[in-house]
């Protein structure tokens, strides 16, 4: 990170949850923070808790490339010495739905927000980070390394971001720019997907519906870390001279990641079936097939 007098950071998805908490933690650690999200009213409310120009609200839809280009132009006029110390890529959408039930429209939006938007904003702002010898952070997820049922589409976006961050790390270290991939476990936020299962779904029967609801409650039932504690840990990672690429933050992040590295896949899948009541789903489907054979 640069030793410039005015430390600057930009955080996407800053209107709630992790992004909101990270903005506050960075500001309390001496950064001037550009807080970006679609909801400008929430950002303005956040900025009022600080002295003028300490937290700067900026309306941004990360899925809109033109808006990212406009952000670059805005920063080129306002960043002190054209230096950005921290780019915190946090904006994201959840999707808890059987893989076969995710619509084309939703799939495209999910990848635009969770993957392509982060890639675009990183490429557009990279020179500011090179100038500052700064740090780029991505909010990854256990979903990107583990097997969480009814989360295939979301998991695919996070796996893509993990790999993007790791390769980016190798490329940017030559410019003295650090890249942190925060593999995130349980954190108390409002990102949970509340979309109902469509009636056309092959899982639309009592056991399938029950399993989906169990999956949606996964984070809340596993003692999630507060967003404030998570932000404190991540800002410490940013301020640290260490350069580990992957860091594990949030409830069960390290445990599940190590399990996935060393446990045989059949065991992982067996545990998944038990924990998320997929064995009941499988049993119900088997009974249905037997009934159909007898008819």
- How many other CB atoms sit within 10 Å of the CB of residue 30? 11
How remote is the C-alpha of 233 from its chain's centroid?
16
Distance CA 250, CA 257 (A): 12
Residue with structure tokens 């406009």?
A: 70
Catalytic residue among 2, 15, 188, 257: 15
Task: Locate 70 and state its tokens.
Answer: 């406009």
Let me know how long the chain is. 295
Active site (annotated) includes residue 15? yes
Catalytic residue among 34, 58, 88, 154: 154
Token readout for 217 is 């409650």
- Distance, CA of 208 to CA of 219 (rounded, Å): 19
Q: Structure tokens of 90? A: 């946090």
Give me the phi and psi of 134, to 5 degrees please: -95, -160
Going by DSSP bridges, is the β-strand pair 178-184/135-139 parallel, antiparallel, or unpaired? parallel
Instruction: Write down the catalytic residue from 7, 158, 216, 277.
Output: 158
Cα three-residue angle 96-163-169, rounded to 5 degrees: 135
Terminal CA-to-CA distance of the chain, rounded, Å?
A: 70
Q: For residue 126, give the DSSP letter.
A: H
Q: What's the CA gap between 236 and 28, in Å, rounded?
A: 12
Query: 179: part of which helix (H) or strand (E)?
Result: strand 178-184
The burial class, CB within 10 Å (0-12 / 13-18 / 19+), for 40 is: middle
Which residues are identified as catalytic?
A: 15, 154, 158
């Amino acid at each position: 990170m640069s030793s410039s007098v005015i430390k600057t950071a930009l955080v996407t998805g800053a209107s709630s949850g992790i992004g909101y908490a990270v903005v506050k933690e960075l500001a309390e650690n001496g950064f001037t923070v550009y807080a970006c999200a679609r909801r400008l009213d929430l950002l303005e409310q956040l900025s009022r808790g600080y002295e003028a120009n300490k937290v700067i609200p900026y309306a941004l839809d990360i899925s809109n490339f033109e808006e990212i280009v406009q952000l670059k132009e805005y920063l080129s006029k306002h960043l002190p010495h054209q230096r950005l110390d921290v780019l915190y890529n946090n904006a994201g959408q959840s999707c808890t739905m059987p893989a076969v039930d995710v619509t084309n429209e939703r799939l495209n939006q999910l990848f635009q927000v969770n993957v392509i938007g982060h890639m675009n904003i990183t490429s557009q702002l990279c020179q500011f980070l090179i100038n500052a010898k700064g740090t780029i952070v991505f909010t990854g997820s256990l979903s990107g390394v583990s097997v969480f049922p009814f989360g295939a589409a979301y998991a695919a976006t996070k796996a893509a971001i993990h790999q993007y961050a790791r390769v980016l790390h190798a490329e940017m270290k030559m410019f003295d720019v650090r890249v942190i991939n925060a593999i995130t476990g349980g954190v108390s936020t409002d990102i949970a997907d509340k979309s109902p299962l469509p009636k056309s779904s092959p899982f639309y029967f009592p056991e399938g519906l029950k399993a989906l609801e169990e999956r949606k409650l996964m984070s809340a039932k596993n003692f999630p870390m507060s967003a404030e504690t998570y932000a404190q840990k991540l800002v410490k990672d940013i301020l640290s001279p260490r350069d580990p690429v992957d860091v594990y933050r949030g409830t069960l992040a390290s445990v599940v990641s190590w399990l996935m590295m060393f446990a045989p896949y059949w065991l992982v899948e067996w545990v998944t079936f038990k924990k998320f009541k997929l064995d009941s789903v499988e049993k119900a489907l088997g009974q249905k097939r037997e009934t159909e054979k007898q008819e």
